[in-house]
Structure 1
């Protein structure tokens, strides 16, 4: 069975795209077949994977019903459905479509008839609009990256609330796979305090693995590489491999 994981936080700059790409790469290192779907109109994941935001076929055209979901296979074994800058317009363009929250779910189901994947990871936009709803309606699990910063806890209640509404109305199978603390520096008292607060508030929903602040994680996407291709001995690579081991245990 394919496990579908949405990576979401409506706050920007928390390491959402970094987590999506490098968790996917770690799962692939564990011999899993992984597809990435870029649902963010900023197309950061697409560019970080070395693809152009000018690709002829993207998730945008697929969402509009122009063609099936286009999954490009990268040289490293991962497959990617790219985004484009026009995707942001989809929110308003699809607003009157019947079953608009279920478009992505239908596209994924169709793709899985001909392609086999163990994991599908969806990089959500930093908002709780229609594109994010499509991801949540398609997903089995939700991973929430949270920065070890004071304002990180703000908005967690909103995400939790949206998840409950989606579970009730659209996708009863949706569960929080885990909250992952990112950009963590153990030398900073504030980072440690926030990490403790998150752990106290969400208990067993917090992954044991924390993603340490690591310059290699910021450098890798500039080269269009994941952390294992860029520097497999870095703390970033070690942390995402540990996170992948926890994700493999999700049931």
Structure 2
């Protein structure tokens, strides 16, 4: 099982949308997918129609338990299962110690024989849950929108990733930045994209995902944007997202 953490220390950049679309793409390729929601806001869980977690199934809270937990995984469909965020008690682990984080990593690794791919959605700030996700992952990808605060936070996030690589997970590979919600008609944004590529080089992925209404509609419908596209804008979004997800999956399955 390969594990991808979707990370950014700022909210609203599209982490959960990317997490779900990668899962849809992998499931469409007949991969067995495990989704894990490390964000107490639980957007990924909600997107998988788990508004209120069933305590009979494994939750992220259970991953941090001191005692062994023997619960089944909650299915999403024939190819996907989810470990939902649990209830608001997950906020108590924002400052968890390293040994607690490593318990979660051990539990996820024990599930590896059942899955081909694990995708971890993370909280929008630097805390122990983000560190725990990075410590558990083989890869990290950074979805990012363009703006003063977002661009200013990239170096801080990369420092966090490097710290985890040095202290907890030397095998973690940074796949880089995926630019999201861009506006190619804006000269200012085109200049910002150019500046990002000049500053961060190959860490900025070649794929780029413009702002499209079809993506919001797909999220609300809990379907991938490439499902039954209607109209030229929707078709563009479908191709952009399917191509980007295929590129990422290819990198993680080499």
TM-score, length of structure 1 as denominator length: 0.89
Structure 1 residues 74-105: Cα deviation after superposition (integer angstroms, max 9, x where no partner): 2363221111342112225x44xx61231221
Aligned to 1:249: 250
Distance of 1:212 and 1:155 partners within structure 2: 20
- Comparing 223-232 with 175-184, which one deviates more in the overlay? 223-232
- Comparing 136-145 with 193-202, which one deviates more in the overlay? 193-202
Structure 1 residues 25-49: Cα deviation after superposition (integer angstroms, max 9, x where no partner): 1222223222111110000011112
SS in 1 for 2:209: coil
Is 1:80 the counterpart of 2:79? The answer is no
The number of aligned residues is 245
Kindly report the root-mean-square deviation, in angstroms, between the aligned alpha carbons of the 2 structures: 2.1
Determine if contact 1:24/1:34 at 8 Å carries over to the other structure: yes
Determine if contact 1:62/1:69 at 8 Å carries over to the other structure: no
Aligned to 1:34: 33
1:40-51 residue pairs with structure 2 within 5 A? Answer: 40-51=39-50
SS in 2 for 1:210: strand
- Comparing 24-33 with 138-147, which one deviates more in the overlay? 24-33
Determine if contact 2:64/2:101 at 8 Å carries over to the other structure: no
Distance of 2:71 and 2:205 partners within structure 1: 31
SS in 2 for 1:240: helix
Relative to structure 1, the CA distance from residue 217 to residue 85 in structure 2 (aligned partners, 3 Å threshold; closer, same or farther) is farther
SS in 2 for 1:126: coil
Determine if contact 1:147/1:182 at 8 Å carries over to the other structure: yes
SS in 1 for 2:250: coil
Is 1:89 the counterpart of 2:87? The answer is no
SS in 2 for 1:6: strand
Distance of 1:224 and 1:236 partners within structure 2: 16
Aligned to 1:163: 161
1:231-250 residue pairs with structure 2 within 5 A? Answer: 231=229, 234-250=235-251
1:72-221 residue pairs with structure 2 within 5 A? Answer: 72-75=74-77, 77-86=79-88, 87-92=90-95, 94-95=96-97, 99-113=99-113, 115=114, 117-221=115-219
SS in 2 for 1:227: coil
TM-superposed deviation, 1:171: 0.6
| Structure 2 stretches lacking a partner, 5+ long | none
Distance of 2:86 and 2:39 partners within structure 1: 8
- Comparing 23-32 with 7-16, which one deviates more in the overlay? 23-32
TM-score, length of structure 2 as denominator length: 0.88
Distance of 1:69 and 1:119 partners within structure 2: 20
- Comparing 62-71 with 211-220, which one deviates more in the overlay? 62-71
- Comparing 205-214 with 62-71, which one deviates more in the overlay? 62-71
Determine if contact 1:149/1:190 at 8 Å carries over to the other structure: no
Aligned to 1:12: 11
TM-superposed deviation, 1:231: 4.3
Aligned to 1:3: 2
